[in-house]
Structure 1
Amino acid sequence: MPPRWSRVPTRQDPDFRRLDDRMTFAVHVALFAASNSGIWFVRTVQAQSWPWSIWVTAIWFAALVAHGLVIFAIADYSKK
Structure 2
Amino acid sequence: MPLRWYGPADPNNATYRHFNRVVNFCLHAGGFAAVNSGLWFVQEMRHPWSHLDLWTEAWLGVLIVHLLVVIRLRPGKDADTDTDTNER
- What's the TM-score, normalizing by structure 2? 0.75
> Unpaired segments of 5 or more residues in structure 2?
83-88
> Unpaired segments of 5 or more residues in structure 1?
none
Paired residues, number: 77
Q: Distance in 2 between matches of 1:75 and 1:29?
A: 18
How much has 1:55 moved relative to structure 2?
1.6
Query: Structure 2 vs 1, CA of residues 60 and 2 (structure 1 numbering), >3 Å: closer, same or farther?
Result: closer
Identity fraction in percent: 25
**Runs of 4+ with deviation above 4 angstroms:** none
Q: What root-mean-square deviation, in Å, do the aligned CA atoms of Structure 1 and Structure 2 show?
A: 2.1
Q: Distance in 2 between matches of 1:34 and 1:55?
A: 17
| Structure 2 residue aligned with 1:62 | 61
Matches within 5 A, 1:17-36: 17-36=17-36
Q: Distance in 2 between matches of 1:19 and 1:63?
A: 20
| Structure 1 residue aligned with 2:6 | 5
How much has 1:56 moved relative to structure 2?
1.2
Matches within 5 A, 1:37-56: 37-46=37-46, 48-56=47-55
- What's the TM-score, normalizing by structure 1? 0.82
